[in-house]
Amino acid sequence: METPVFINELKHIRLTNGQELSYQHFGRDYLSAPVVVVNHPLTANSSVAGENGWWNDIIGENKTIDTTQYAVISFNIPGNGYDGTVIENYTNWHTGTIAGFFCAGLRQLGINKIHTLIGGSLGSGIAWEMAALSPNFIERLIPIAGDWKSSDWMIATTFIQNQILQSNPKPLEIARMHAMMCYRTPQSFKLRFNRSINKERNIYNVESWLLYHGDKLKERFLLQAYKTMNHLLGKIDITRNGKSFEENIQKIQSEIHIVSIDSDLFFPLSEDIETVALAKKAGVDIHHHIIESDFGHDAFLMEPKKVKEILNTILT
């Protein structure tokens, strides 16, 4: 058997249209091993595995996505700042633009088939867009805690975020605090804080927690990058090609596994239930997995055991 490799340095590729992509590669040689592509969520990046990997409970040697068996590739969404670059004209882009970059980048690397494409949150929307653009390219499509379109709720949420980012004197901090209200749930707040007081600061612990998350994001994220990611989150739509959802999904040749979170306020379960019903009515074989959690949208990051159980059933 070929000796596994584990490469995690940041690499760059320039597309024929001049767009530069940065990416990381973990595990086996992507020209000979099955390729798993992971699209990152809003505040994450291409570092999906290893010591500082945001999904290292899932990806690694002898883990659910086993780097001794698979080649794992993750691109940075251009403008996310992880590679030191930001985008000035990001409002000209949508998630379909990014999907086109990713598909072109994979083909430029010599990859003609993706074994599995996984996306989390914003990355899920990009994964749907990739499948719509290249319906024969992906064997398994696994959108997690995301959707094929930005719902009215999502459009409203990103609109409010943009107002904060454009006008508040502490844009990143306040935007992050507002976002945390959608990433978690009232029940998770009660379980964790239960109206307890931070005696040192003489405020509620939930207030202290929100301030902490605002400050933490400010330390590690560029304002322009956050504006870019927020913009894209409100611009997910595989039907922008003029074809209905049913027409698009009928062309996708992937085995589709939607993973929802029952308490998700950001991408509600009800939207995925509707998607599955539409797909089945259109004659598409689609699988729906539901994570039960009090943590809301962030459960796909906070409950790795439950995510592993689902991915194990899909990948084995």
| Residue in 191, 227, 278, 211 with CA at minimum distance from that of residue 81 | 227
pLDDT of res. 1: 39
| Residue in 82, 74, 68 with CA at minimum distance from that of residue 109 | 74
Q: Which of 201, 233, 265 is the last residue of a domain?
A: 233
Tokens found for residue 60: 């690694």
pLDDT (average), residues 81-89:
94
Q: Is 116 in the same domain as 30?
A: yes
The domain that contains 229 carries what CATH number?
Answer: 1.10.1740.110
- With contact defined as beta carbons under 8 Å apart, do 310 and 259 qualify? yes
| Whether the predicted pLDDT of 27 surpasses 50 | yes
pLDDT of res. 76: 98
pLDDT of res. 6: 54
Domain assignment of residue 257, yes or no: yes
Q: Which of 189, 213, 233 is the last residue of a domain?
A: 233
- With contact defined as beta carbons under 8 Å apart, do 213 and 192 qualify? no
pLDDT of res. 122: 98
For the four alpha carbons of 101, 102, 106 and 109, in that order, the dihedral sign comes to: positive
Confidence tier at 7 by pLDDT (50, 70, 90): low
